[in-house]
Amino acid sequence: MDVAVLVFLAILFPTLASVTNMAYRNNPNLRDSVTFVCAILAFACILGILNIVGSGISEEIVLTEVFEGLDIAFRVEPLGLLFAMVASGLWGITHVYAIGYMRGNNEKNHPRFFACFSIAIAAAVGIAFSANMLTLFLFYELLTVSTYPLVAHKGNAKAVYGARVYLAVLIGTSVALLLTAVIWTYTLTGTLDFVQGGILAGKVEGRIVPILLGLYAFGIGKAALMPFHKWLPSAMVAPTPVSALLHAVAVVKAGVFTMLKVGVYIFGIELLADTGASEWLMWVAAYSIITASIVAIMHDNLKRRLAYSTVSQLGYITLGMALATKMGILGGGLHIAMHALGKITLFMCAGAIYVATRKTEISQMTGLGQTMPVTFAAFGIGALSIIGLPPLGGSWSKWALIVGAADAGQLIAIFALMLSSILNVAYLLPVVAKGAFLKSDDNPCKGVREAPLFCCLPPAITAVGCLALFFWGGMLLDFLQPVVGDGHG
Amino acid sequence: MAGGTEAVAHQALEMTDHLPVLQVLIPFIAAPLAVFLGVRSLAWPIACAGAIASLVCSVVLMLATLDGSFISYHLGGWAPPYGIEYRVDAANAFVLLLISATAVVVMPFTKASVDAEIPKKDHTLFYACFMLCITGLLGVVVTGDAFNVFVFLEISSLSAYVLVSQGSHRDRRALTVAYDYLLMGTIGATFFVIGIGFLYMATGTLNMADIADRIAGQGDNRTIQAAFAFILVGMGLKVAIYPLHLWLPGAYNYAPSAVTVLLAATATKAAIYVVLRFTFSVFQPEFTFDTNVLYWIIIPFALLAMFAASLIAVFQTNFKRMLAYSSIAQIGYMLLGIGFFNLSGLTATMVHLFNHSITKAALFMAVGALVLRSGSTFYDRIRGMGKSMPLTSAVVVIGGLSLIGIPGTAGFVSKWMLVQAAFELGWWWMALLIVASSLLAVIYVWRVLEVLYLGDTAEGAQHKEAPMMMAGPMWVAALACIWFGFDTSLTLEASRVAANGLLSGNAGMAPVPTTAAGGGH
Amino acid sequence: MTTGDNELMIEFLLGHINYWLFVVLMMTGLYIVIVRGNYVKKIVGLNIFQTAVFMFYISIGKITGGTAPIFPTDSQGRIRPDPDIVYSNPLPHVLILTAIVVGIATTALGLALIVRIREEYNTIEEDDVLEIETKLAEQENRIHGFGPGGGA
């Protein structure tokens, strides 16, 4: 099949799932199975694209021209393909998990939930395949708007407040800063296409480069760069599947993915490296990494702790971009996949614990490991992958980032990455240790069994995925090579 | 046989030649027809037919002028500058299309809402006024004669006062707001006439193109400056430029739903068009005064509107009133585009004229449907209607997103153009101000969305979807919001041609008109 | 100030006498519209305001030494244009005919609205109406929450 058709289908299937959910609102089994089939088909489409395009770059697929020389258009390239694979591949798994979670928790408004969820996936795939900044911005905002009802899902005061913060930060940054940056770029260059080597090279100089980069970096609120990270912990009021897929995979990864795209295809790493414009961003990212890790340690609520951990991990990818070295970019790209798998495992485990025991605080989970061995084993693997220990996927991206930092000669960045790994250990492993090895006197978990199969199987699968990624790491690195040019970094 | 076809072809040519006047005449005739036939059930079909016929006229005119040419029609066969001239170029063809298309789209909605809000005995008169209002608006836009603008302006305004006062069947305050509207509108119109008087003193002519030529010939003088000041203030009252907006929130709030839709979507837009036409085609800044004057007069007021009105909108507790203040803020955007005085800025104004019009039409129709079911527009009475009226609420979502300027909606296109215009001038701080004011839009839109979707269901409301007669037009407008967010070939193209024409001041008499039709033979 | 300046000043004042009258009348009208609380008086003010503009128009059509724009005819009734005769400009008069019609329509509509207001509020004094409306607005604010922007 044609790449264009497959790209459309990859976006169409999630949309179709959304429509089905609204149309068959009264038939839960039909709804959920159709959605699952759509998820499989969407993933199959993306694998089909992978099969055809490989690590090459496809032709541009133009839908319509909106402004002069500015289209709504798609183009497949390795970075986007990787992101699309991660987002759509994890959709099916999370969907299974979400069915278990939503039913196990007796949540309301299932059709609306799953409809918005599917639209968010469509938006994520759209972001992945965008051929220019305008298309990306379109899907970026679609993603924000479609996830808002998910965050506000519970409808109580806390959820409404959390959703408000979520929306205020995401829409606020994108409308105020990102849009300004995009239009500024357009007036400077007359195009917004993602071009190898950047479109701004030769068009801007002096102080404008760091200012523009600042508008982009803070404008992409989804990348949760401090101080615009508040939305991420706020979004944790959402049901856990949302936190898992959207706020650990699709939404935040859309943010850092956009960040990488801007760095590589709008500015071009040569421009950034030559002008040193991104150096300040590296400092901000390093600050973000360390501070968020420290904040994570102080939170007892498991989901909040994971949220701050995400803020910190997203800093890695921004850091990779800010280093403006080939290895840094590759490490950032790789980290999208590695962190996605690790973090989704952790979130799904947190949700599984909640479904089984209604516990949200880490201090209440002492001794739970004995009764929920599968969940805690998966959590442990996910945690180790995030920390970056071999033989798990996370080690590759961290290694690549450190090499990238060394290439750039930024010892501070290396230091930040090392320190953060230690902090990762400090906030993730105690959860596993307390749960698996300690025994509580007044065992709070009497009568608690393992979470339902629908809830504990998906994290187990993604945990195995973390393991598998370690062995595919080199392959992935080669796959991403064309993003930064042909030669090895 | 051959001769016969020839005659038919000739006649058809004649008809198209008369389009500029037919455009205005059709609704003008429909109005008394509805009254004199005296059959209540016929009033609406007549109004409908009139609206559709004038839409056809405007579509043909738009197609004829898209290439940047213009059509000059001599009323009664009297050649300008002595006779009244109707002159259609891309700029007014675009606004004509907007007005007549809006009229057609809201017609079914009007039927449903009028049936619910206005006593049966007043229906025929209501539709007559409705058509007269449309006549006036179309006339204001189509004419090329300065005094004729005033006459049509008053036709539309007088009928608008009557239409607003019809809201008194629901709330008696409609009467006092209509009275206030009448006072302020008349003062505005009289100021406008004074301005035209000064122009006539300075140039000795009333034909806008001729005035332009003569101003270009004689350059600047105080009479012309005074004329510009009076016209700007007079039209400012009709446009509802921020400090002159006092009539607008009340009039929009208490008028019958259908009237609010019509006024919001077309009346202020026609007035904006007059400002555009006079500023650029008649006064021509390059001849009369330094463009700095535009910067210092128009831009501050535009910014004031964008921020003050948005801020007021944020704190409203009444959906309809909130939208009224949002309209004042959005008018600020259009003024800002005029103030930029470059191609992108004017394009932004023209395209926002259109985009804001469809957005507000969709939103005010949704309000009308909410009123029908809940009997009120206050937030606490429409709480939780998202569940019982999913179609209507979805329209509010789409319209709201377009108001903010989220990509994929019409509002995004105009905001993009406006920010681009600011960057082209090198005013990056202005770009930041524009986006900052759309952040305020995020707040006031989201307040409504939270009320509709997240609130507990209000008591005392009928929990039923709006009737098809309302939901249909609403969705046409909402889908148009999305459509024109992607397909800008019509809106941006027409706006660009129009802006180009306005900036080059092509209103002068010199170029040969494409069609020189004489009505008198 | 020298005598010459004084004469110039007087000439300026007298030469623009129509404008001074126009300005005075117009301001009087506007003042009434703004200050008077009675709805009917406001309409009267509006009329004075408009009439001032009508007079302004008519006065600018006047040309010194000009006569009514009617061509002289001979005994047979044929038109005999005489290039020596100066005519006043008739166009402003024509325009003002239209404007007067508009003015009458406005007045009529305004008065009709006042009749309806009297039926609903039982008063035509703005202060009383405002009092009633403020009470209504306060009532609404109590129920629905306060929204700024002034009552209408």
Q: What integer pLDDT is reported at residue B509 of this predicted model?
A: 43
Nearest to A343 by CA among A301, A300, A396, A302: A302
Query: Is some CB atom of chain B closer than 8 A to the CB atom of C65?
Result: no
- Per-residue pLDDT averaged across B143-170, rounded? 92
Q: Are residues A208 and A282 in the same domain?
A: no
Asked whether residue B7 is assigned to any structural domain, the reply reads no
C near B: at least 3 beta-carbon pairs less than 8 Å apart: yes
Contact B442 A175 (CB under 8 A): yes
Task: Let me know whether A256 and A289 are in one domain.
Answer: no
**What tens digit of pLDDT does each residue of B67-87 get?**
777 888 888 777 777 788 888
| B434 compared with B383, residue with greater pLDDT | B434
Q: What does the pLDDT look like over A291-321, one tens digit per residue?
A: 999 998 888 888 888 889 989 989 889 988 8
- Are residues A250 and A385 part of one domain? no
Instruction: Please indicate, yes or no, if residue B129 is contained in any of the structural domains.
Output: yes
Q: Do residues A450 and A328 share a domain?
A: yes
Whether the Cβ atoms of residue A302 and residue A236 lie closer than 8 Å to each other: no
Chain B residues whose beta carbon lies within 8 Å of the beta carbon of residue A72: 486
Residues 6+ apart with CB under 8 A from B384: B452, B453, B455, B456, B457, B458
- Which residues span the domain enclosing A395? 278-489
Say yes or no to pLDDT of B289 above 70: no
pLDDT tens-digit series, residues A349-404: 888 888 887 778 888 777 777 778 888 888 888 888 888 887 888 888 888 888 88
* pLDDT score of A149 more than 60: yes
Same domain, A299 and A257: no
- Residue A398, classified by CB atoms within 10 Å of its CB into exposed (0-12), middle (13-18) or buried (19+), is buried
Q: Are A330 and A399 in contact, with CB atoms under 8 Å apart?
A: no
In whole angstroms, give the CA distance from residue B120 to residue A211. Answer: 63
On whether any CB of chain C is under 8 Å from the CB of B253, the answer is yes
* A217 vs B228: CA distance, rounded Å: 46
- When pLDDT is cut at 50, 70 and 90, the band that residue B514 belongs to is very low
Phi, psi of B277 (to 5 degrees): -65, -45
Number of CB pairs, chain B paired with chain C, less than 8 A apart = 115
Question: What's the mean per-residue pLDDT of chain B?
Answer: 85
Cα C140 from Cα C42, distance rounded (Å): 29
- Of all residues in chain A, the percent with pLDDT exceeding 90 is 8
Band of pLDDT at residue B502, cut at 50, 70 and 90: confident
A chain contacts of residue B486, beta-carbon cutoff 8 Å: 63-64, 66, 72
Chains C and A touch (3+ CB pairs under 8 A): no
Q: Supply the pLDDT for residue A441.
A: 59
Question: Would you say residue C68 has pLDDT above 80?
Answer: no
| Cα B395 to Cα B387: distance, rounded to the nearest angstrom | 13
**Inter-chain residue contact A64 with B423, CB threshold 8 Å:** no
**Structure confidence at residue C1 (pLDDT):** 52
Q: Could you tell me if A225 and A288 lie in one domain?
A: no
Structural domains of chain A, count: 2
Q: Which chains touch B (3 or more CB pairs under 8 A)?
A: A, C
Per-residue pLDDT reduced to its tens digit, B186-222: 999 999 999 999 888 888 888 888 888 888 877 777 8
Residue at A38: amino acid letter: C
Residue in chain B closest to C108 (alpha carbons) equals: B158
| A273 located within any domain | no
Residue B121 is given by DSSP the state: G
When pLDDT is averaged across residues A327-338 and rounded to a whole number, the result is 88
pLDDT above 70 covers a percentage of chain A that reads 96
Query: Could you tell me which of B314, B343, B342, B310 has the C-alpha nearest to residue B326?
Result: B310
pLDDT average, residue stretch B408-428: 90
Give residue limits of the domains in chain C: 13-68+83-144
Residue of A146, A179, A218 to mutate when probing chain B, most B C-beta within 10 A:
A179
Q: Would you state the pLDDT for residue B362?
A: 94
Q: Which two tokens stand for residue B398?
A: 């789409």
Which CATH number applies to C13-68+83-144?
1.10.287.3510
Averaged pLDDT, B308-320: 90
Phi-psi region of B512 (alpha: psi -120 to 50; beta: other; left: phi over 0): beta
Mutate to test the interface with C, among B122, B177, B182 (most CBs of C within 10 A): B182
What is the pLDDT, as a whole number, of residue B291?
A: 61
Q: Which has the higher per-residue pLDDT, B513 or B46?
A: B46
Distance from CA of B252 to the nearest CA of C (A): 10
Candidates C46, C48, C113, C140: best to mutate against B (most CBs of B within 10 A) is: C113
Nearest to C149 among B162, B180, B325 (CB): B325
**Mean pLDDT value across residues A174-196:** 89
The position carrying tokens 């606490």 is: B380
Top-ranked range on mean pLDDT: pick from A59-68, B60-69, B505-514, C41-50 = C41-50
Contacts of B251 in chain C (CB under 8 A): 152
Is the CB of residue B187 less than 8 Å away from at least one CB of chain C? Answer: yes
Tell me what pLDDT residue B508 has.
45
Average pLDDT over residues A267-293: 87
Residues of C in contact with B200 (CB under 8 A): 60, 91-92
Cβ C144–B200 below 8 Å, yes or no? no
Domain hosting B180: range is 12-506+514-518
With CB atoms and an 8 Å threshold, state whether B378 touches C143.
Answer: yes
Among A288, A77, A262, smallest CA distance to A178 is for: A262
| B5 is a domain residue | no
Instruction: State both tokens at B268.
Output: 């202020």
What's the rounded Cα separation, in Å, for the pair A345 and B264? 52
Residue A91 lies in a domain: yes
Q: What is residue A368's predicted lDDT score, i.e. its pLDDT?
A: 76
A309 lies in the same domain as A264: no
Q: What angle do CA C50, C53, C54 make, to 5 degrees?
A: 90
On whether the CB atoms of residues C143 and B380 are closer than 8 A, the answer is yes
Lowest mean pLDDT of A299-313, B286-300, B427-441, name the range. Answer: B286-300
* pLDDT above 70: residue B168: yes
Residues of B with CB below 8 A from A136's CB?
Answer: none
Q: Does the distance separating the beta carbons of B416 and A183 come in below 8 Å?
A: yes
The tokens describing A90, both together, are 């994890």
- pLDDT tens digits along B5-61: 333 333 444 566 788 888 888 999 988 888 888 788 888 999 999 999 999 999 998
The minimal CB distance from A141 to the residues B406, B438, B492 is found for B406
Per-residue pLDDT, B388: 84
CA distance A90 to A43: 9
Q: Searching chain C, which residue's CA lies closest to the CA of residue B160? A: C109
The answer to whether C133 faces chain B, any CB pair under 8 Å, is yes
Which one of A66, A155, A176 has the shortest CB-CB distance to B486? A66
Nearest to C113 among B150, B165, B197 (CB): B165
pTM of the entire structure? Answer: 0.90
Q: Which of A381-385, A434-438, B106-110, C37-41 is predicted with the least confidence, judged by mean pLDDT?
A: A434-438
Q: Which residues in chain B have their CB less than 8 angstroms from residue C108's CB? A: none
Q: In which band, very low, low, confident or very high, does the pLDDT at A233 lie, cut at 50, 70 and 90?
A: confident
Whole-angstrom distance, CA of residue B358 vs CA of residue A172: 25
Q: Is residue A426 part of a domain?
A: yes
Question: What's the number of domains chain B is made of?
Answer: 1
Chain A residues inside the 8 Å CB shell of B420: 183, 186-187
pLDDT value of position C44: 94
For chains A and B, CB pairs below 8 A equal 74
- What is the per-residue pLDDT across A444-480, written as a single tens digit (0 to 9) for each? 555 566 777 777 888 888 888 888 888 888 888 888 8
The CA-atom distances, in angstroms, between B483 and each of B405, B408, B448, B493 are: 14, 8, 23, 15
Nearest to B363 by CA among B455, B260, B290: B260
State the average pLDDT for chain C: 84
Closest partner CB to A175 (pick from B424, B438, B453): B438
Position A201, amino acid? A
The domain boundary, picked from A268, A286, A310, lies at: A268
In a domain, B187, yes or no: yes
Q: What is the pLDDT of residue B279?
A: 85
Cα distance between residue B454 and residue B467, in whole Å:
24
Asked if the Cβ–Cβ distance from B420 to A66 is below 8 Å, we say no
Q: Which residue of A has its CA nearest to B397?
A: A145
Q: Look at B440 and C72; give whichever has higher pLDDT.
A: B440
B193 part of contact set with chain C, CB < 8 Å: yes
How wide is the angle at C-alpha C95 spanned by C-alphas B513 and C14, nearest 5°?
120
Give the pLDDT band (50/70/90) at residue B510: very low
Q: How is B279-302 classified by DSSP, letter by letter?
A: IIIIITHHHHS-HHHHHHHHHHHH
Average pLDDT, chain A: 85
Instruction: Find, in chain B, the residue whose alpha carbon is nearest to that of C102.
Output: B154
| A327 and A288 housed in the same domain | yes
CB C47 within 8 A of CB C29: yes
Nearest-Cα residue of chain A relative to residue B425: A187
pLDDT at C21: 87
Shared domain check, A105 and A29? yes
pLDDT single digits (tens) C10-60: 877 777 788 888 889 999 999 999 898 899 999 999 999 999 999 888 888
Nearest by CB: B173 against C53, C149, C152: C152
C-beta atoms of B165 and C116 within 8 A: yes
Percent of chain B scoring above 90 in pLDDT: 41
